[in-house]
Structure 1
Amino acid sequence: MSTTTKYLLKGGTVATCVQGSDAAQVYKADVLVEGSTITRIEQDIAPAPGVEVIDCTDKWITPGFVDTHRHVFMTVLRANQCDYLLSEYFIKMAWTVQGTLTPDEIAIGTLAGCLDALHNGVTTILDHFHAAHTSAHADAALRAVLESGARVIWAPARQSPPTQLFPSLQWAGDTESAKWQREKLKELGAPNGGKLRPDGRVTLGLAYDTLGQGPIEAHQEFLTFARSVPVAVITAHVVQGPGILTWRDAGVLGPDVVFSHCNILADRPAPDDEMWAALKEGGAAIAATPEDELGMAHGNPVALDALRRGVKCGLGVVSTSPTPGRSFVERLRGRIVQDVVSANSGDIFTQMRVQLQWARGHDHERILAERNPATRPFHNKYNCVDVFRLGTLGGAEALGLSQLIGTVEVGKRADLLVFDANSVNLAGAADPIGGVVFHASSEDIEMVFVDGEIVKRNRKLVREWAPVARELKEKADAVRERWPAEKLEEAWKKWYETNGAPFF
């Protein structure tokens, strides 16, 4: 006798992008979910025995959001760095506090961060986990990811924390870290082809920000090893440096690579620009985090440029990744960034809005400067569908998951959101795409499905949040007690006075 869970989403409005089209599809239909899969999308599907019918009258059914760049564990440091400069952040967190976090602190930050994402309709996350300081830290983070119920590509970073901040930065333990991290990748990935859950909801990735330091052959060998494990995605930061070409010239660029930010690509109009061409020819993707990129002086966001050029791109929320072996200014100019839930919002709604309105404003600024009525547009160059696509199907394409998620289609995994179109925010909105992009928030999401499992119902997480919140507050308070603001400010002042004014 089958025990497959079945749900019939009855009488809703489906809103989804589809591959091969610049338009979105919006239509009335019932959606049948059997087990982990969408099996029928039709009007007037008759309820069958054993199927839970969910009334979706005046509801919108959309794909779950896909976050292509988040450092989930940093939820334990939420609101700690909202006003930091980028360089200040490194001294006050990445090179000090982060290295002292315990496995338990990492675990609760990761669990809370995944649940935060689910509450906001983010069903898939590429977790660039740069706090794998020991095997115990890695195990704690992975347990929390598995427990959360989110779909996650869990990508522990090949790096280690500094062993000395003053008088100069040192990474004395990196050789040993490289050894155990290699062993951990093989231990976790080899038995099940990179699946960290039997159903594949959690898979293994790799964060790799060290390319360019040391012999290139060592990096080529490590990445070849990681791909043989196999890891699903390899992710790295590129901001204003030459990282894209570094990867290309090393022969390690491929369709499994996701570069975060890539702000160096902004305002490069040449159609055959070398970096853009390398991305497209190599099949690599971009993870754009526009809210943080604009606020932290990384440069201008490039997500809609990527969409226009046919380069895979998705949106993301949070990241930070210290890389050993380079000077401070080189780090800041080359690849190191901060866009963390400890400093920014944790939802894709904000990323869609910021990206769209910045791109429009940037385009309008150019048009106004030209003062030529003949070049003034009849419509905006970019629209709501463009960023809705980036937040759903675009993200799935960037992560190599578009065959499974990112759209509402028969045969896809049931990663779905159900919005209340009669809510205070959405009532009266005729267009679900515009409503989601410009008006919706987490409070409007009634239900969240991941792999056919309901993880949010009646606007509340199925997982009880109060115990998680209590532990999160306890652990966050412990971190702040160890690292009071005065102590961190003293370290920052010492660094500033020793090294001069930083780049940012």
Structure 2
Amino acid sequence: MPNYLLKGGTVATFVTTNNGHEPRTFKADVLVEGSTITKVEENILPGPGVEVIDCENKWITPGMVDTHREVSTPDLQFDISLSVPMQTRLHDVLRLKLLTVLPSWLLSEYLVKMSWNTQPTLTADEVRIGQLAGCLDALHSGVTTILDHFHAATTPAHAEASLAATIESGARVVWCPARQSGPTQLFPTMEFANDAAAAEWQMAKLKEWGSRDHGRLTPDGRVTLGLAYDIVWKGPMSEHQAALKVAREIPVSIITAHVVQGPQILTWRDGGILGPDVVFSHCNVLAERAAPDDEMWAAMKESGAAIASTPVDELGMAHGNPVAIEALQRGVKCGLGVDAVSINGGGLFAQMQTALQFARGCAHERVRAGKLARPKHNAYSSADAFRLATLGGAEALNLAHLIGTVEVGKKADLLVYDADSVNLAGIADPIAGVVFAASSEDIELVMVDGEIVKRAHTLVRVSWPPVARELQRRAQEVRERFPHEKLEEIWSKWYETNGPPVF
């Protein structure tokens, strides 16, 4: 594997101190030998065989960590109802998501139209190209690590196609196939007639994948096995305890589940299945629980479980209010996620901004209501948001010993930003610049495990144009199967049968 010296850049990262971790910005060279950062200091002299990469007027940061992304299917859902002209530049193609319809959908509407109707019809090839494109979109946007909540494990072939595409992309991924089955009937009542058969093959495959190398799905450990487990609400707790015991014996690295509103945190706690390997996405129910000793917050902190907050879609789809910044204040592990890129962009920039500004806005409301004294400064800083997207995400996935900061001994998951760009030139504080001004187009270089996957603003491990062409073709096939009018008809019938969505 090549060795690299990132020369003359400005490093922006959290660093380990006696008090925990603190944000730091400093001039330094970064030496990468194999997959590891071996030196972070000034005036490093390159040894033989080391490629020197000029980083003058550039920022070097950790790769971002996405703790909740549903990678495969959203990339196939570009635009159901409107014609969007195709562009030729990489970043334009990557942004051709369903940016005119899905952002207007409520969560229940998304479940009916997408999860329970469109998704179950996807072929293994459609899942494969969606997964590959989704991972490449993340890498292009500076997300080097993903917790993938993989919903589309309809058959073993679908699951294997997703895994193969994940490995091909070069991203660092905790790949979490879901223990679930699609509904066999929506009306008049919802039924899951195939769930017993799905449980049999899904658990058998989980054991098979785990047996390869104790959950390591690639020799370098870049892709590891997890489990998505959203079904605690049905069946006896003893079944869930048994299934998760099997998963932990493999071991899967992470068990993830959705928690929006409701008592699931306490259900997991009371069932004895909550632990430090659990990542709950969203957790908006916690936003309404302000008591310092609230039992849900206490259960999260005491168990070591983590939150994956996705503020943009949480606010837009009626999940509830985001809790990312509050989690930091309470000492609960928390990272950020994109969720589905059919709803918002593939990077964490908007998520950082939304999490931070929402928390500030709530604090300002409390000041106006007389519940807080007027502050001299904002209570929450850009560094809080930057932490959520980097070190916080690494902590949530129990990977902080490997990734999340630019420090000696960590894996070389690194980003290099062009600080001379239109967006960034003149910005003095790189951390604030990353949070409030940067975009994926400012990221010049992306490195994962010491391998350069994006260079000179271009994906280099996998060529994007062939992926884009196949993605566009297969997306059109999906749209033809499920035109806007058909999906709206299904949703209207659900709405009439079940009543308005619950907020």
TM-score over 0.5 for the pair: yes
Pair 1:23 & 2:44 matched: no
Q: In structure 2, which of residues 202, 214, 219 is the aligned counterpart of residue 181 of structure 1?
A: 202
After the TM superposition, which residues 62-73 of structure 1 pair with which residues of structure 2 at under 5 Å, given as runs? 62-73=61-72
Say whether residues 1:417 and 2:376 are aligned partners.
Answer: no
Deviation at 1:82, TM superposition (A): 2.6
In the aligned structure 2, how far is the partner of 1:241 from the partner of 1:197?
37
By how many angstroms is 1:213 displaced?
1.3
Partner of 1:8: 5
Summarize deviations over 1:52-90 as a string: whole Å, max 9, x none.
000000111000000000000121123162322222222
Residue aligning to 2:87: none
Q: Deviation of residue 169 (structure 1)?
A: 1.4
Q: Pick one of 247, 252, 264 that aligns with 1:226.
A: 247
**Structure 1 partner of 2:343:** 343
Structure 1 distance, partners of 2:342, 2:351, is: 16
| More displaced stretch, 125-134 vs 162-171 | 162-171
In structure 2, what residue type is equivalent to 1:136? Answer: A
Match of 1:331 in 2: none
Superposed displacement of residue 141, structure 1: 0.4
Distance 1:82 1:471 in 2: 24
Residues 284-309 of structure 1 deviation map (CA, whole Å, 9 limit, x = unaligned)? 00000001111111111111111011
CA deviations on 1:301-323 (whole Å, 9 max, x unpaired) are 111111011110000011xxxxx
For 2:363, the aligned partner's letter is D
Partners of 1:106 and 1:140 within 8 A in 2: yes
Comparing 441-450 with 78-87, greater Cα deviation is found at 78-87
Counterpart Cα distance in 1 of 2:400 and 2:106: 36
State the match for 1:369 in structure 2.
369
Q: Does 1:165 align with 2:186?
A: yes
CA RMSD of aligned residues (A): 1.2
Distance 2:107 2:195 in 1: 24
CA deviation digits over 1:181-228, x for unaligned, max 9? 000001111120100001100000000011131111110000000011
1:397 counterpart SS class: helix
TM-score scaled by structure 1?
0.93
Structure-1 separation of matches of 2:125 and 2:351: 30
Q: Distance in 1 between matches of 2:168 and 2:424?
A: 32
Q: Which residue of 2 aligns with 1:477?
A: 476
- 1:432 corresponds in structure 2 to 430
Would the aligned equivalents of 1:159 and 1:174 in 2 still touch at CA under 8 Å?
A: yes
Q: Which range moves more in the overlay, 196-205 or 340-349?
A: 340-349
Q: Does the residue aligned with 1:146 lie in a helix, a strand or coil?
A: helix
Which amino acid is the alignment partner of residue 394 of structure 1?
A: G
User: Structure 1 CA distance, aligned partners of 2:102 and 2:128?
Assistant: 20
Residue from 214, 219, 222 that aligns with 1:193: 214
Aligned to 2:37: 38
Match of 2:137 in 1: 116
Count of residues in Structure 1 that have an aligned counterpart in Structure 2: 478
Deviates more, 1:161-170 or 1:244-253: 161-170
Helix, strand or coil for the counterpart of 1:191? helix
Contact in 1 for aligned 2:103/2:316 (Cα 8 Å): no
Contact 1:18 1:393 (C-alpha < 8 Å) held by counterparts: no
Q: Tell me if structure 2 keeps the 8 A contact 1:190–1:230.
A: no
Counterpart CA distance in 2 for 1:468 and 1:371 is 53
User: Which AA in structure 1 matches 2:491?
Assistant: W
Change (3 A) 1:502 1:42: closer
Amino acid at match of 1:412: K
CA distance in 1, matches of 2:150, 2:260: 18
Within the alignment, does 1:81 sit opposite 2:102 as a pair? Answer: yes
- Give the aligned residue type for 2:68: H
Identity %: 67
Distance in 2 between residues matched to 1:499 and 1:66, nearest whole Å = 38
The separation in 1 between residues aligned to 2:221 and 2:405, in whole angstroms, is 18
Distance 1:360 1:501 in 2: 31
| AA at the equivalent of 1:362 | C
Match 2:319 to one of 292, 295, 298: 298
The separation in 2 between residues aligned to 1:293 and 1:235, in whole angstroms, is: 17
How far apart are 1:474 and its partner, in Å? 0.6
Q: Matched residue of 2:165: which SS? A: helix
Separation in 2, partners of 1:39, 1:501: 57
Please, what TM-score do these two structures have when normalized by structure 2?
Answer: 0.93
Counterpart residue number, 1:325: none
Q: How does 1:201-240 map to 2 (within 5 A)?
A: 201-240=222-261
The code of the aligned residue for 1:344 comes to N
* Partner SS for 1:123: strand
Please name the residue that 2:82 is paired with: none
CA positional deviation for 1:483: 1.0
1:450-465 alignment runs, 5 A limit: 450-462=448-460, 463-465=462-464
- Whether the 8 Å CA contact 2:382–2:431 is kept in 1: the answer is yes
Letter of the 1:82 counterpart: P
Amino acid in the other structure paired with 2:215: G
Answer whether contact 2:104 2:317 (CA < 8 A) is retained: no
1:64/1:417 contact within 8 Å kept: yes
Deviation at 1:21, TM superposition (A): 3.8
AA aligned to 2:24 is Q
Confirm or deny: 8 A CA contact 2:106 2:316 kept in the other structure.
Answer: no
Q: Distance in 2 between matches of 1:18 and 1:269?
A: 31
State the 1:111 CA deviation: 0.3
Please show how residues 378-393 of structure 1 align to structure 2 within 5 Å. 378-393=376-391
Distance (whole Å) between structure 2 residues aligned to residue 143 and residue 231 of structure 1: 18
Contact 2:103–2:313 (Cα < 8 Å) also in 1: no
User: 2:261, 2:189 → 1: CA distance?
Assistant: 24
- How far, CA to CA, are the matches of 1:229 and 1:262 in structure 2? 27
Tell me the CA shift for residue 422 of structure 1: 0.8
The CA deviation at 1:267 is 4.2
2:390 alignment partner, SS class: helix
CA contact 1:65–1:122 (8 Å) conserved in 2: yes
Stretch deviating more after TM superposition (75-84 or 196-205) = 75-84
Deviation at 1:22, TM superposition (A): 5.4
Query: In structure 1, how many angstroms separate the alpha carbons of the residues matched to 2:346 and 2:249?
Result: 33
**Distance in 2 of aligned mates of 1:196 and 1:9:** 30
**What corresponds to 1:135 in structure 2?**
156
> How far 1:33 sits from its partner (Å)?
0.3
Shift of 1:365: 1.1
Distance 2:381 2:52 in 1: 34
Query: Which whole-Å CA distance do the structure 2 matches of 1:60 and 1:167 have between them?
Result: 57
Q: What SS does the aligned partner of 2:212 have? A: coil
Matches of 1:502 and 1:290, distance apart in 2: 20
Aligned partner of residue 98 in structure 1, secondary structure: helix
Deviation of the 1:502 alpha carbon: 2.6
2:93 — aligned with what? none
Q: Whole-Å Cα distance in 2 between the matches of residues 165 and 489 of structure 1?
A: 15
